[in-house]
Amino acid sequence: MNQTAVTVEGRNLIISRTFQAPRELVFQAWTDPHHLPQWWGPQGFTVTVQEIDVRPGGVWRYVMHGPDGTDYDNLITFLEIQAPQRIVYKHGDFENDEHFRVTVTLEEQGQSTLLTMTMQFPTVEALNQTIQDVGAIEGAQSTMNRLAEHLLSLQSAK
């Protein structure tokens, strides 16, 4: 059962999920250059990191490899990092540095963490095209599943 909620509001795609992990650990999974590539992307995809610098003004350049062998160039530019509650970045590729902007918030809920990820597109049409052509909703759900698995492995390794 997928516990990830996805809603579309105007030009925003909003993903939320409660993880059974402390907020600091979820934040670490999102910002540690060692952890981030291990869970990033939908099931079956892998990531080759070319550069990763998680700080305001820093960039993460990577190639996402699809299960069908297709490579996708990605560029994330971090705009704001407020440990352990907020991450803001723009997501693009090597030709266009901003296809959409993302705000991730982490809210402490006892020993759990509510993650809300808002992807803001320039237009409703751009969002709809991404949902249709790229499978953004299914991809987000799958990525959050991978994050949940990664968090579980981090906690069981302690």
**pLDDT at site 2:** 56
Q: What are the boundaries of each domain within the chain?
A: 5-131+147-152
Per-chain mean pLDDT for the chain? 96
**pLDDT value at position 87?**
98
Arithmetic mean of pLDDT, 148-158: 92
Residue 1: per-residue pLDDT: 44
DSSP H helices in 21-106: 23-31, 36-39
User: pLDDT above 70 covers what percent of the chain?
Assistant: 98
Residue identified by tokens 């095209």 is: 129
- Are 26 and 106 in contact by the 8 Å Cβ rule? The answer is yes
Residue 55 CB partners (closer than 8 Å, separation 6+): 78, 81
Architecture in CATH of 5-131+147-152: 2-Layer Sandwich (3.30)
pLDDT band at residue 157, thresholds of 50, 70 and 90? confident
